[in-house]
Amino acid sequence: MAAPANDVVAVERTLLKHVRDNVHGNIFLEPIFLKFVDTEQFQRLRDLKQLGLTHMVYPGAVHTRFEHSLGVYWLAGKAIDIIKKYQGPELGIEHCDVMAVKLAGLLHDVGHGPFSHMFEGKFLPRVFNGDKWSHEKMSAKMIDYIVDEHNIDIDPELLKKVKEMITSSCGSPTQNGKGNQFLYDIVANGRNGIDVDKFDYIVRDCRACGLGCNFQPERLMETMQVIDDEICYRAKDYLTIHKLFATRADLHRTVYTHAKVQAIELMVIDALVKANPYLDIASSIHQPSEFWKLDDSILKAIEISPREELKESQDLIRRIRRRDIYQFCNEFSVPRERLDHFRNITPQDIVCSQTNGINLKEDDVAVSNVKIDLTYGTENPLERYLTKKW
């Protein structure tokens, strides 16, 4: 006698892993996704703080890339499920598309280095003289490594699509004009910046730092619709879209580029640069088999090492522990009308402009050039949103 339909569903649910998230509530992981989560390479994300060194100023900002990745996985699944529910037959969405979007959400940050974007954007350029390296491309390499290392049985075409979804926002080719480009915009949207990655980290970061957040992603996700192969939103959701970009800009001003956070980052960068010749930290970025071993604990490893050659790095780290951090001197905000003629200021510029008998050397000065906008420089991102609306 055949089992009732509800009994079949009950059996399927027993295969799901239930995780309680403090932002999204209950998150359920299917067996194929658990195969990736239950690897040392993915579990490494527990040791990467989402906001790097920000917790040194905002003590609550200790959430990790691990929980963020689960959150993006969950939102990516919701987004594709909503689109499939209302437009699945029309758009030709298949099960493999759903799986690819969810897996891209889960794995989009497995290639991140220590201390959030500081490692990629500030440390590596110092030791490699500006050579470009992106965590998105490393994520793609790491995915291949995880599959090979753990013998995960997965369709190669599905895996290829997942990697393309992750790297599409950094200029890598996607599907070569085959259509369904909207699928590649769900996790990392290079066209207008509205994606579930932002949906998760904006709400999560605000909560962790004790800041209010007026942005509500659920409102947008419930009404998203694909028009001309692009995810679109209702015209009356204009203000909700604006809150997304405005909240992101506020986080940059008040949290990510906080003066003391910047000072601590500069000290950590100096410590890592001084330690790199002896620990060869940067060389790991070329091999996933070595890169996954690198996380935020590198700072503690340097601090407690008995190696004499690491003393300069240790002194800098101990200064941070004792709150003897680089001193913030001044800031200058460039007026909007002068942005086109502005170039990044260097320590040499500061030294050359000294007056009143001040005698600083270039090594005494650290300059942080920060650009805060609504994602597209002086361009209003809402103009892109308004080109397609319903």
Mapping DSSP onto H, E and C, the string for 325-336 reads CCCCCCCCCCCH
pLDDT for the residue 15: 81
pLDDT for the residue 178: 55
The model's confidence at residue 93, banded by pLDDT at 50, 70 and 90, is: very high
Kindly report, residue by residue over 157-215, the tens digit of the pLDDT.
Answer: 999 999 999 998 765 445 445 568 999 999 999 888 899 999 999 999 999 999 988 88
pLDDT for the residue 9: 39
Class at the top of the CATH hierarchy for domain 13-258: mainly alpha
Beta bridge partners of 20: 26
DSSP-assigned letter for residue 49: B
Residue pair 226/182 in contact by the 8 Å Cβ criterion: yes
Kindly report, residue by residue over 123-145, the tens digit of the pLDDT.
Answer: 999 898 756 889 999 999 999 99
Could you tell me which residues come within 8 angstroms of residue 351 by beta carbon, excluding any fewer than 6 positions away? 360, 361, 362, 365
What is the number of helices (H) and of strands (E) in the chain? 18, 4
The angle at the Cα of 218, spanning 217 to 219, to the nearest 5 degrees, equals 90
pLDDT for the residue 379: 58
Q: Average pLDDT in the 287-301 region?
A: 96
Cα(9)–Cα(14) distance, integer angstroms: 9
| pLDDT exceeds cutoff 70 at 291 | yes
Q: Which residue has the higher pLDDT, 188 or 382?
A: 188
pLDDT for the residue 383: 61
For helices 156-167 and 95-107, angle between their N-to-C axes, nearest 10 degrees: 50
Kindly report, residue by residue over 18-31, the tens digit of the pLDDT.
Answer: 999 999 999 999 99
Residues acting as catalytic residues? 135
Residue spans per domain, the chain: 13-258
Among 102-106, 241-245, 258-262, top mean pLDDT goes to 102-106
Kindly report, residue by residue over 28-69, the tens digit of the pLDDT.
Answer: 999 999 999 999 999 999 999 999 999 999 999 999 999 999
pLDDT for the residue 5: 45
Q: Average pLDDT in the 297-308 region?
A: 96
pLDDT for the residue 6: 43
Kindly report, residue by residue over 331-381, the tens digit of the pLDDT.
Answer: 777 777 777 777 777 878 777 777 776 777 777 777 777 776 665 555 565
| Residue 7 CB neighbours (<10 A) | 10
pLDDT for the residue 260: 94
| Residue 174 CB neighbours (<10 A) | 18
| Residue 192 CB neighbours (<10 A) | 21
Kindly report, residue by residue over 225-238, the tens digit of the pLDDT.
Answer: 999 999 998 888 88
Q: Which residue has the higher pLDDT, 375 or 92?
A: 92
pLDDT for the residue 373: 61
pLDDT for the residue 377: 55
